[in-house]
Amino acid sequence: MMRSFKFQALLALAFLLLSSTFFSNPILELKDRVLLNNNTTIFGADVVKNSNFEIPEILYRLVIAYIPSNVNYMELSAQVVANLIRQNLKGYEVHINSDKIIIQRRKEEVEKDFASLKDVIENFKKTIEEKYGKGVEVIWPPFDSTSPNENNVKYSYSYTNAGNGYFNILVKEISNGKVLKIRNFKVHLVLQRMVVVAKRKINYGEIIQEGDLELKKVNVFGKTSTFVSDIKKVVGKRAKRNFNKDDPIVLEYLETPPYVTRGQVISAYVSIDGITVTTFVRLMEDGNIGEVVSARNIDTGQLIYGVVEKGPRLRILVGEKKEE
């Protein structure tokens, strides 16, 4: 009897061990570091370590983060990433080994050996022109250009985009396979263009006049906004944001103002059987020529509707209402 009980207990223990081994959820382990090439989107599959089972298809579509092209280093909360994966992927355990996941862009290595630092500078400028077009000026900080007193000195370099028009450049001085010196430079890329800027502070909602503007040379390298080089294209536009003095005027933050605006007092008229009656109304909404707008009679307060005409004036609609 005792022997039978022990046998049953061993069977139960074996079942528990087997069930925990064969029937537990598969485990996904998150990386501590992700290296980027040219991609700017991090997906779930990018942050998961290789395992013995195939990575679920959904992780190749699950967006974890968007990394701006000018950002070379970013830290993500590992716990937040793990929770996001758990919400979208059922039946898996997600393990983390660190409190953060480091996102880092790979350095761009230039394999060629150069005879002098001057050759490095010229090669980098050529590389930048191939990437961003001619006209980009590379501004180097002051540095000692003296070559080391060694024979067969060669130079190699790598660079990373530090954002906001700056690049970090690492230059190695090498002789007979030995690194003699490593230099770090932070260079600034500049692309000067004549663009329209604010001559004074322009507030949100203002109608911009010619006297509010001037042309100035501005560094537009790396900027994605649409700048303007013709003052006439800006005059008469309404600002959709504040522009401080010397701020470049950006087309995305301009709009064509309506012909008439809410609160404006204009004349209104109605013609019946050859008789024309004129009054004054206060507009209740913005409008352009040909549009139907609502207004209130200044004397009676009565709500009326009319068509905006050049002047401006309002042709009152008798017995008609504005279509919704």
pLDDT(21) > 50: no
Instruction: Say yes or no to pLDDT of 22 above 80.
Output: no
Residue 139 above 50 pLDDT? yes
Q: What is the pLDDT of residue 241?
A: 92
pLDDT at 6: 55
Q: Say whether domain 265-316 belongs to CATH 1.10.510.10.
A: no
Mean pLDDT calculated for residue range 254-263: 91
According to the per-residue pLDDT averaged within each range, which of 131-135, 179-183, 294-298 is highest?
Answer: 294-298
Section 163-190 average pLDDT: 87
Q: What is the pLDDT of residue 19?
A: 47
Q: What is the mean pLDDT of residues 259-287?
A: 93
For domain 192-255, the question of CATH label 3.60.20.30 is answered with no
Q: What percentage of residues in the chain have a pLDDT greater than 70?
A: 83
Average of per-residue pLDDT across 283-307? 94
What pLDDT shows up at residue 27? 85
Confidence (pLDDT) at 16? 47
**Fold agreement between 20-105 and 265-316:** no
For the segment 170-187, the average pLDDT, to the nearest whole number, is 88
Residue ranges of domains in the chain: 20-105, 108-186, 192-255, 265-316
Q: Which residue has the higher pLDDT, 322 or 20?
A: 322
- Encode pLDDT of 58-110 as tens digits: 888 888 888 776 677 788 898 999 999 888 888 888 888 888 888 877 666 66
Q: What is the pLDDT of residue 188?
A: 93
Q: Across the chain, what does the average pLDDT equal? A: 84
Q: Are 116 and 147 within 8 A, CB to CB?
A: yes
pLDDT the model gives residue 51: 66
Above 50 in pLDDT, residue 285? yes
Mention the CATH class of domain 20-105.
mainly beta
Q: Choose the most confident range, by mean pLDDT, from 7-16, 19-28, 195-204.
A: 195-204
pLDDT for 288 equals 92
pLDDT of residue 243: 95
